[in-house]
């Protein structure tokens, strides 16, 4: 087992310009989305594909292996709408230096039970050994009819009035439950599944290309959560399911997942008519509006995460493609 500290990396899919009639994607790995640092070898992918409406699966073929990405492409039929693409890697084995384990656990928002288990493991003098897999998905949908449209991997797309076809579930998956793409300022609903079953209590972070901060949420008993999307642009939902391997002290198993999507610009608000009545005058004097109050939801934490910690440069020195594989 080769010692490495690649676990803090996320792996994601993004669309890139391609040839006519093709959809081209890049599979990249990095310590902080959207900065790509390395690609993953095509031989490491155990599953990959795309889904076209109304449910036809398309092959996702490997292209060039670049320094910071593996290119992938598919060729839909003329006029066909692609709703999602995905990849899943084989398992990698790593050993994380003890000094970096707390950083790793913090960056994936691991629960206190795992931190306590690590403290007990250190007391026994056992190193942190982990087997992990990566899962990445990208999806496309149209925004609401009003306002600018998001980019899509096909020539024309109309807003969907019903949920898109469901892509095959990965071993760890984040499903976006909204039938249309979010606009800036709207709330995104999603669900986390492990082996096709709802994963309760899972920490999920929303990260975007325009912000230094991420927004964390934890799933409910049905594996569901929601989060506001502050800006237009590219985003990923990211999560890591980490658990001890039964009967193997000091050994852990993890599954990493990302779901990439784009948010459209917000629809400009229509000008409001002036209100000279007593209620309108009172609100104007108070600097508010009738709809300005927002109820709080104590079940949805508002924690933000800043850039990865100082350990990130150390972690990023060994990308997953260099780790030992069984």
* Neighbouring residues of 182: CB distance < 8 A, sequence distance ≥ 6: 143, 188, 229, 261, 263, 264
Number of compact structural domains in the chain: 1
pLDDT at residue 133 in the model: 98
pLDDT at residue 274 in the model: 54
- Residue 296 domain-assigned (yes or no): no
- Residue 270 domain-assigned (yes or no): no
Its domain, for residue 63, covers 6-264+301-322
pLDDT at residue 145 in the model: 62
- Residue 79 domain-assigned (yes or no): yes
pLDDT at residue 177 in the model: 95
pLDDT at residue 117 in the model: 97
- Residue 269 domain-assigned (yes or no): no
pLDDT at residue 266 in the model: 94
pLDDT at residue 307 in the model: 42
For every residue of 27-60, DSSP letters joined together read EEEESBTTB--B---GGGEEEEEEEETTTEEE--
- Residue 293 domain-assigned (yes or no): no
Instruction: Detail the DSSP E strand segments found in the chain.
Output: 10-16, 23-30, 45-52, 56-58, 61-65, 70-74, 82-89, 92-96, 128-139, 172-176, 187-194, 197-198, 203-208, 214-218, 224-228, 233-244, 251-263, 304-305
- Residue 148 domain-assigned (yes or no): yes
- Residue 314 domain-assigned (yes or no): yes
**How, if at all, do strands 203-208 and 56-58 pair?**
unpaired
CA 169 to chain centre: 15
Residues of the chain with pLDDT under 70: 1-8, 144-166, 270, 272-326
Closest among 57, 263, 26, 22 to 142, alpha carbons compared: 263
Which residues sit opposite 26 in a β-bridge? 14, 71
- Residue 152 domain-assigned (yes or no): yes
pLDDT at residue 79 in the model: 86
Distances (CA, A) of 313 to 32, 113, 185, 290, 308: 11, 27, 33, 48, 9
Give the number of other CB atoms < 10 A from CB of residue 23: 23
- Alpha-helical regions (H) of the chain: 101-107, 112-123, 278-286, 312-315
């Amino acid at each position: 087992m080769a010692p490495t500290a690649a676990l803090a990396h996320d792996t994601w899919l993004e669309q890139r310009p391609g040839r006519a009639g093709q959809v081209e994607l890049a599979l990249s790995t990095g310590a902080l989305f959207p900065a790509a640092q390395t690609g993953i070898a095509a031989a490491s992918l155990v599953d990959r594909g795309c889904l076209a409406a109304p449910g036809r699966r398309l092959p996702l073929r490997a292209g060039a292996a670049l320094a910071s990405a593996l290119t992938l492409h598919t060729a839909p039929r003329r006029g066909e709408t692609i709703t999602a693409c995905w990849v899943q890697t084989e398992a990698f084995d790593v050993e994380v230096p003890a000094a970096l384990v707390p950083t790793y656990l913090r960056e994936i928002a691991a629960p206190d039970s795992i931190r306590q288990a690590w403290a007990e493991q250190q007391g026994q003098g056992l190193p942190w050994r982990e087997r992990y897999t990566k899962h990445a998905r990208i999806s496309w949908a149209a925004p609401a009819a009003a306002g600018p449209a998001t980019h899509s991997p096909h020539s024309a797309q109309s807003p969907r009035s019903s949920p898109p076809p469901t892509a095959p579930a990965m071993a760890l998956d984040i499903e976006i439950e909204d039938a249309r793409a979010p606009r800036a300022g709207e709330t995104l609903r999603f669900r986390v599944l492990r082996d096709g079953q709802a994963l309760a209590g899972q920490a999920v972070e929303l990260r975007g290309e325009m912000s230094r901060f991420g927004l964390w949420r934890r799933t409910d008993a049905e594996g569901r959560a929601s989060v506001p999307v502050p800006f237009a642009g590219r985003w990923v939902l990211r999560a890591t399911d980490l658990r001890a391997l039964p009967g193997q002290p000091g050994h852990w198993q993890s599954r990493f997942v990302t779901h990439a999507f784009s948010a459209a610009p917000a629809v400009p608000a229509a000008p409001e008519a002036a209100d000279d009545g007593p209620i309108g005058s009172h609100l104007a004097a108070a600097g508010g509006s009738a709809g300005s109050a927002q109820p709080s939801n104590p079940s949805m934490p508002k924690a933000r995460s800043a850039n990865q910690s100082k350990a990130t440069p150390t972690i990023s020195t060994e990308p997953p493609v260099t780790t030992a594989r069984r």
